[in-house]
Structure 1
Amino acid sequence: MFSISLLPYSVQHYLGLAIGRLAKTILKSRVGIARRNLEICFPEKSDTQRQDILEGCFSHLGHSVVDTANAWFWPQWRFAKHFKVEGLEHLKKARQQPGGILLVSAHFWTLESHARAYGSLDPGVGIYRPNKNSVYEYFQYHGRVKANKYLVDRTDVRGMIKALRNENAVWYAPDHDYGTHAAVFVPFFAQDKAATITGTATLAKVKNVQVLPTYALRNQDGSGFTLVIEPALENYPQGDDKQDAQRINQVIEKAILRAPEQYMWIHRRFKSRPEGEASVY
């Protein structure tokens, strides 16, 4: 990956496309999962439209390998040349008030670039799953904190709360299916029963915390990507687990619809089902 980061940006683009094509050929099961997710979420779209999103998804998977290399190894001056910011005023407004910031995001293929870009503006704390391979874990951890403070294991809720109480920005992605513990079944796109964790509302209850939706999208012109920061959510949480979880899903849906092909459709978003219901996969 370090070698990839040394290549000219134009060469990286074609390398990313090649990796994406290879991944689509090798990862047959993931192709099937992605296709099924798109059928569930977008039944109103034609087969051709869903296929276009699927093809784009794997192209962006390939680009994510390149993006990760750049996010972990590029010097700041080079990284800064390839991203722009949309909504910086929302971050500045949030930082004018005391308290931490809960960055509600989602699993786009740009997530490594997202972490580096946001950290360039406001170094924060990331939530992640440690890798079992110690060598990979070393590079993952140090790559992700290149422009940020530190990382917290996704199971360490106390660590997240502590970071927020210390007025840090905490990156949090509640869009995957993490099981039925501390979760409710609420709509996500056209699926009316998607297991959604209630942790977002729990963290948002920390004193003076503001919730800012944020994500990064690759620019269509190939110039890099855009870090998007949206206004802080008002009147959140409400105190009703289902209502609060559904609102976060709506925030994530809005982000995905800006570039559905850039979202990680390869994960089984709907693997958990209410008792008695059959698997949708």
Structure 2
Amino acid sequence: MKRLSLALIVALLRTLSVLPYKFVARLGIVIGTLLYALPGRRKHIVLVNLRLCFPEKTAHEHQQLAKAHFRHVVRSYLERGIQWFGSAQSIRDIVQIESRIDLDDESAPPTIFMGFHFVGIEVGCMLYSTRLPIASLYTRMSNAGLCELAKRQRGRFGAEMIERGSSAKRIVALLRSGKDVMLAADMDHGVDNSVFVPFFGVPACTLTAVSRLARLGRARVVPFVTEVLPDYEGYKLTIFEPLADFPSDSDEVDARRMNAFLEEQVVRFPEQYYWVHRRFKHRPPGMAPVY
């Protein structure tokens, strides 16, 4: 059954990859709207996250934001077709890039490209891998077959895929050799190697790996964000300036800065952040669970 399910997923994604991009995007919006009408665990998680992070909004505003988010999430799943099975040119056709650093500077120091879990993160990473060599961290999925498929397709333009937590030494060695690394550190992966720092005023279990890897790899940290453009015009990948004086001597200070930067981006297009994840899964001692 697992093999059959995987075969059906591959067939669906391959079909979606050859359909017009705007048709697939609109189809995702329609399906997302229908799914939001159904009760479900993910819908509950989204609403809890929105209530915690935006307490000033009304219940109606939370519902509207959650509905918009579901549309974006489902749309992003359908667009995996072109992202996983489309050509490099088909990805370039739907993603604009604005970089505030010179991506072709051969004298640039090793770089950690720090991303965040907006719905467009994957296509932004895929676009970058079509242009320049990169190593990219990924989180293993519970479905082994789907995980191997994602790993293979995400790395098909030459990106070196490294499982998160498998080998910090490998990542440091890559950075010291001059190869850039792309990662995201805005999910709750447990209290080990994490600190509790505010995210929209709520204590969030935040990884400190970016600071440590940057320090050991003698690398600069460059944030990037991929946003969905209006009117089905594709995506925009923005690569920002390197974070100044980063890493510092304090992992907690650095984690606070990461979350503060992320907050600035979330308020620009809050419906596109991955509220379906349990961002506050772990809580500081003495604080009640929220989900």
Give the TM-score, by structure 2 length.
Answer: 0.89
Q: CA deviation at 1:137?
A: 2.7
Q: Is the 8 A contact 1:99 1:166 kept in 2?
A: no
Q: Which of 176, 192, 210 is matched with 1:200 structurally?
A: 210
How far apart, in 1, do the equivalents of 2:114 and 2:39 lie? 29
Q: Is the 8 A contact 2:172 2:217 kept in 1?
A: no
Alignment of 1:9 with 2:21, yes or no, is yes
How far apart, in 1, do the equivalents of 2:199 and 2:212 lie? 20
Alignment of 1:266 with 2:281, yes or no, is no
Q: Quick one: structure 1 residues 27 and 160, their matched pair in 2 at CA, closer, same or farther if it must change by over 3 Å?
A: farther
How far apart, in 1, do the equivalents of 2:60 and 2:15 lie? 37
Q: Is the 8 A contact 2:135 2:160 kept in 1?
A: yes
SS of alignment partner, residue 64 of structure 1? helix
Q: CA deviation at 1:195?
A: 1.1
Map Cα deviations across residues 121-166 of structure 1 (whole Å, 9 max, x no partner): 3231111123343432332112111234211111122222222222
Q: CA deviation at 1:280?
A: 2.1
Q: Which of 162, 166, 187 is matched with 1:176 structurally?
A: 187
Alignment-derived partner of residue 45 in structure 2: 33
Q: CA deviation at 1:98?
A: 4.2
Alignment of 1:210 with 2:185, yes or no, is no
Alignment-derived partner of residue 226 in structure 1: 236
Map Cα deviations across residues 37-62 of structure 1 (whole Å, 9 max, x no partner): 01111112222332222111101111
Q: Quick one: structure 1 residues 184 and 117, their matched pair in 2 at CA, closer, same or farther if it must change by over 3 Å?
A: same
How far apart, in 1, do the equivalents of 2:245 and 2:61 lie? 36
Q: Quick one: structure 1 residues 122 and 8, their matched pair in 2 at CA, closer, same or farther if it must change by over 3 Å?
A: same
Q: Which moved more, 1:23-32 or 1:51-60?
A: 23-32
Give the TM-score, by structure 1 length.
Answer: 0.92
Q: Quick one: structure 1 residues 101 and 26, their matched pair in 2 at CA, closer, same or farther if it must change by over 3 Å?
A: farther
Alignment-derived partner of residue 42 in structure 1: 54
Q: Quick one: structure 1 residues 207 and 177, their matched pair in 2 at CA, closer, same or farther if it must change by over 3 Å?
A: closer
Question: Superposed, which structure 2 residues align to 1:57-206 within 5 Å?
Answer: 57-86=69-98, 88-92=99-103, 95-156=105-166, 157-191=168-202, 193-206=203-216
Q: CA deviation at 1:25?
A: 4.3
Q: Which moved more, 1:71-80 or 1:31-40?
A: 71-80
Q: Is the 8 A contact 2:88 2:127 kept in 1?
A: no
Q: Quick one: structure 1 residues 123 and 255, their matched pair in 2 at CA, closer, same or farther if it must change by over 3 Å?
A: farther
Unaligned regions of 5+ residues in structure 2, if any?
1-12
Unaligned regions of 5+ residues in structure 1, if any?
none
